[in-house]
Amino acid sequence: MKQNGTLSNIPSIDLLEAEEVGDNHLFSSIETPMRADAFAMEDDTKIELIEKHFRHIMEIMGLDLTDDSLKGTPKRVAKMYIKEVFSGLDPKNKPDIALFDNKYKYDQMLVEKDITVFSNCEHHFVPIYGKAHVAYISSGKVIGLSKLNRIVEYFSKRPQVQERLTVQIANELKQALQTEDIAVVIDARHMCVQSRGVRDSGSSTVTAYYGGKFENEATRKEFLSYLGM
């Protein structure tokens, strides 16, 4: 990608195939699909380009950007994309994790439930919102409680598929906590289901990951009992 205001080296796709994949809710890998040059461009340049292109989208839709309510929208959207809702794409925003000795010798599961999830569907760029519940059993180290929320937030702030989000959170927790004894459950609603397509406003999607001791049925049931599931 060049930095002079033009876009290049973006692979073309078969639009019919892309539409079919999107409606079938597929995802290609555990890692978020990123180009090798994803961070070659400064954030300010990205915002400038997104503002320009989003302005063009609004003009194509017939909106009057001289209206006081609309004229600032392209810039607001561009800043929101880079600085807020998709900030989890940039590794520099990844939360720093510090571990502490488990001085209390607490050897039972620790559960952090009802962590707010607010993400965006990568197929239609509309919100995914709900709750994440995570648990771990200490291997001798513990983590500050707020960092569990921060990890969920970081991976949520990118175009996502819920299955991938679940695994990414679990993998990060395993690495950060140096244990396989991790559980993650996400219960979320998808605006791509609620506001378009089938338009079902009553359904939600539940995904789960169980590792280590949580693969044991009794341990898993104990975790789910804390969630009322």
Q: Which residues are catalytic?
A: 121-124, 162, 190, 192
End-to-end Cα, the chain, rounded Å: 47
User: What is 82-133 written as a DSSP string?
Assistant: IIIITGGGSGGGSPP--EEE-TT---SEEEEEEEEEEEEETTT--EEEEEEE
- The answer to whether 121 touches 190, Cβ cutoff 8 Å, is yes
User: What CA–CA distance (Å, rounded) separates 153 from 186?
Assistant: 13
Side-chain half-sphere CA neighbours of 95 within 13 A: 22
Q: What is the DSSP letter of 208?
A: E
Q: Specify the 3-state DSSP secondary structure of 191.
A: helix
